[in-house]
Protein backbone atom coordinates (compact mmCIF):
# COMPACT_ATOMS: atom_id res chain seq x y z
CA UNK A 1 0.00 0.00 0.00
CA UNK A 2 1.02 3.57 -0.68
CA UNK A 3 -0.38 6.73 0.91
CA UNK A 4 -2.33 7.76 -2.17
CA UNK A 5 -4.16 4.40 -2.11
CA UNK A 6 -6.10 5.71 0.89
CA UNK A 7 -6.72 9.00 -0.93
CA UNK A 8 -8.18 7.13 -3.91
CA UNK A 9 -10.38 4.86 -1.80
CA UNK A 10 -11.77 7.81 0.13
CA UNK A 11 -12.41 9.75 -3.07
CA UNK A 12 -14.49 6.79 -4.26
CA UNK A 13 -16.29 6.77 -0.89
CA UNK A 14 -16.99 10.50 -1.23
CA UNK A 15 -18.76 9.82 -4.52
CA UNK A 16 -21.32 7.68 -2.70
CA UNK A 17 -23.61 5.96 -5.20
CA UNK A 18 -22.44 8.13 -8.10
CA UNK A 19 -20.89 6.12 -10.93
CA UNK A 20 -17.20 6.86 -11.52
CA UNK A 21 -14.44 5.98 -13.93
CA UNK A 22 -10.70 5.78 -13.35
CA UNK A 23 -10.06 8.70 -15.70
CA UNK A 24 -12.45 10.85 -13.62
CA UNK A 25 -10.58 9.97 -10.43
CA UNK A 26 -7.28 10.82 -12.15
CA UNK A 27 -8.56 14.23 -13.21
CA UNK A 28 -10.20 15.07 -9.90
CA UNK A 29 -7.22 13.98 -7.79
CA UNK A 30 -4.38 15.07 -10.07
CA UNK A 31 -2.98 11.54 -10.04
CA UNK A 32 -2.13 9.76 -13.30
CA UNK A 33 -4.57 7.18 -14.66
CA UNK A 34 -1.87 4.49 -14.49
CA UNK A 35 -1.29 5.26 -10.79
CA UNK A 36 -5.04 5.04 -10.16
CA UNK A 37 -5.12 1.63 -11.87
CA UNK A 38 -2.10 0.33 -9.93
CA UNK A 39 -3.56 1.67 -6.69
CA UNK A 40 -6.88 -0.09 -7.24
CA UNK A 41 -5.00 -3.31 -7.97
CA UNK A 42 -3.11 -2.99 -4.66
CA UNK A 43 -6.39 -2.28 -2.88
CA UNK A 44 -7.95 -5.44 -4.36
CA UNK A 45 -4.96 -7.44 -3.09
CA UNK A 46 -5.32 -5.85 0.36
CA UNK A 47 -9.05 -6.60 0.47
CA UNK A 48 -10.07 -2.94 0.59
CA UNK A 49 -12.04 -2.96 -2.67
CA UNK A 50 -13.91 -5.79 -4.40
CA UNK A 51 -12.45 -7.70 -7.37
CA UNK A 52 -14.60 -5.68 -9.78
CA UNK A 53 -12.88 -2.52 -8.42
CA UNK A 54 -16.23 -0.83 -7.93
CA UNK A 55 -17.46 -1.81 -4.45
CA UNK A 56 -15.55 -0.60 -1.41
CA UNK A 57 -14.98 -3.08 1.40
CA UNK A 58 -16.02 -0.62 4.06
CA UNK A 59 -15.34 -2.60 7.23
CA UNK A 60 -11.75 -3.48 6.25
CA UNK A 61 -11.16 0.14 5.24
CA UNK A 62 -12.44 1.35 8.61
CA UNK A 63 -10.33 -1.27 10.38
CA UNK A 64 -7.21 -0.14 8.52
CA UNK A 65 -7.93 3.53 9.16
CA UNK A 66 -8.50 2.96 12.86
CA UNK A 67 -5.65 0.57 13.61
CA UNK A 68 -3.08 1.07 10.88
CA UNK A 69 -3.12 4.56 9.41
CA UNK A 70 -1.20 6.29 12.19
CA UNK A 71 1.47 3.56 12.18
CA UNK A 72 1.90 3.18 8.43
CA UNK A 73 1.66 6.90 7.53
CA UNK A 74 2.60 8.75 10.72
CA UNK A 75 2.89 12.51 10.77
CA UNK A 76 4.38 15.01 13.18
CA UNK A 77 3.21 18.63 13.02
CA UNK A 78 5.83 20.96 11.58
CA UNK A 79 6.43 24.67 11.22
CA UNK A 80 3.62 27.23 11.26
CA UNK A 81 2.54 27.96 7.71
CA UNK A 82 -0.43 29.27 5.78
CA UNK A 83 -2.63 26.52 4.46
CA UNK A 84 -5.89 24.62 4.36
CA UNK A 85 -7.24 23.46 7.73
CA UNK A 86 -7.12 19.74 8.46
CA UNK A 87 -7.62 17.28 11.34
CA UNK A 88 -9.61 18.85 14.21
CA UNK A 89 -9.32 22.33 12.66
CA UNK A 90 -11.46 21.33 9.64
CA UNK A 91 -15.05 20.16 9.31
CA UNK A 92 -16.59 18.03 10.68
CA UNK A 93 -14.44 17.96 13.82
CA UNK A 94 -14.14 21.75 13.98
CA UNK A 95 -17.84 21.78 14.89
CA UNK A 96 -17.20 19.51 17.89
CA UNK A 97 -13.74 20.56 19.08
CA UNK A 98 -12.77 24.09 20.01
CA UNK A 99 -9.06 24.69 19.83
CA UNK A 100 -6.75 27.62 19.29
CA UNK A 101 -4.21 25.27 17.70
CA UNK A 102 -4.76 24.49 14.04
CA UNK A 103 -3.21 21.92 11.74
CA UNK A 104 -2.98 22.82 8.07
CA UNK A 105 -1.81 21.36 4.80
CA UNK A 106 0.72 23.81 3.37
CA UNK A 107 -1.20 25.50 0.56
CA UNK A 108 -0.67 28.95 -0.91
CA UNK A 109 -4.40 29.53 -1.33
CA UNK A 110 -5.13 28.57 2.27
CA UNK A 111 -6.81 31.02 4.61
CA UNK A 112 -5.37 30.14 8.03
CA UNK A 113 -2.02 29.67 9.71
CA UNK A 114 -1.21 26.59 11.70
CA UNK A 115 1.22 23.76 12.23
CA UNK A 116 1.92 22.02 8.95
CA UNK A 117 0.83 18.46 8.26
CA UNK A 118 1.91 16.78 5.05
CA UNK A 119 -1.14 15.35 3.24
CA UNK A 120 -1.19 11.71 2.10
CA UNK A 121 -0.65 13.02 -1.45
CA UNK A 122 0.59 16.46 -2.54
CA UNK A 123 -2.55 17.12 -4.63
CA UNK A 124 -4.98 16.55 -1.74
CA UNK A 125 -5.52 20.25 -0.88
CA UNK A 126 -6.48 21.13 -4.47
CA UNK A 127 -8.84 18.14 -4.68
CA UNK A 128 -10.43 18.99 -1.32
CA UNK A 129 -11.27 22.54 -2.37
CA UNK A 130 -13.42 21.10 -5.17
CA UNK A 131 -15.09 18.35 -3.12
CA UNK A 132 -16.29 19.15 0.44
CA UNK A 133 -17.25 15.53 1.21
CA UNK A 134 -13.79 14.30 0.21
CA UNK A 135 -12.29 17.15 2.26
CA UNK A 136 -14.07 15.87 5.36
CA UNK A 137 -12.77 12.33 4.78
CA UNK A 138 -9.20 13.54 4.39
CA UNK A 139 -9.40 15.81 7.44
CA UNK A 140 -10.75 12.90 9.50
CA UNK A 141 -7.81 10.77 8.35
CA UNK A 142 -5.40 13.44 9.52
CA UNK A 143 -7.13 13.49 12.89
CA UNK A 144 -6.33 9.77 13.09
CA UNK A 145 -2.72 10.42 12.07
CA UNK A 146 -1.95 13.29 14.48
CA UNK A 147 -4.79 13.57 16.96
CA UNK A 148 -4.95 12.69 20.60
CA UNK A 149 -7.26 9.96 21.89
CA UNK A 150 -10.36 12.19 21.93
CA UNK A 151 -9.83 13.45 18.37
CA UNK A 152 -9.18 9.91 17.13
CA UNK A 153 -12.33 8.61 18.79
CA UNK A 154 -14.48 11.39 17.30
CA UNK A 155 -12.86 10.92 13.88
CA UNK A 156 -13.63 7.20 13.87
CA UNK A 157 -17.24 7.85 14.91
CA UNK A 158 -17.60 10.25 11.98
CA UNK A 159 -15.94 7.86 9.53
CA UNK A 160 -18.16 4.97 10.62
CA UNK A 161 -21.25 7.13 10.25
CA UNK A 162 -20.20 8.23 6.76
CA UNK A 163 -18.91 4.93 5.38
CA UNK A 164 -21.45 2.48 6.74
Question: Are residues 46 and 116 part of one domain?
Answer: no
| 143, 145, 147, 152: CA torsion to nearest 10 | 70
**Of 70, 94, 159, 162, which Cα lies nearest the Cα of 103?**
94
Question: Are residues 144 and 123 part of one domain?
Answer: yes
Q: Whole-prediction pTM value? A: 0.95
Question: Are residues 94 and 35 part of one domain?
Answer: no
pLDDT tens-place string over residues 117-154 = 999 999 999 999 999 999 999 999 999 999 999 999 99
Q: Do you find a cis peptide bond into 92, omega within 30 degrees of 0?
A: yes
Question: Are residues 149 and 86 part of one domain?
Answer: yes
**50 lies in which domain range?**
3-72
Question: Are residues 152 and 110 part of one domain?
Answer: yes
- Residue 98: band (very low, low, confident or very high) from pLDDT cuts 50, 70, 90: confident
| 18, 162, 43, 89: CA torsion to nearest 10 | 110
Amino acid sequence: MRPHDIVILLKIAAKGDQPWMMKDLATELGISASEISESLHRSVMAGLIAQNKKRLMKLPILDFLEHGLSYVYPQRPGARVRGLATAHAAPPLSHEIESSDAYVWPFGEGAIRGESIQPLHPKVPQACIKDPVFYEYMALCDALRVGRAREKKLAMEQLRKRLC
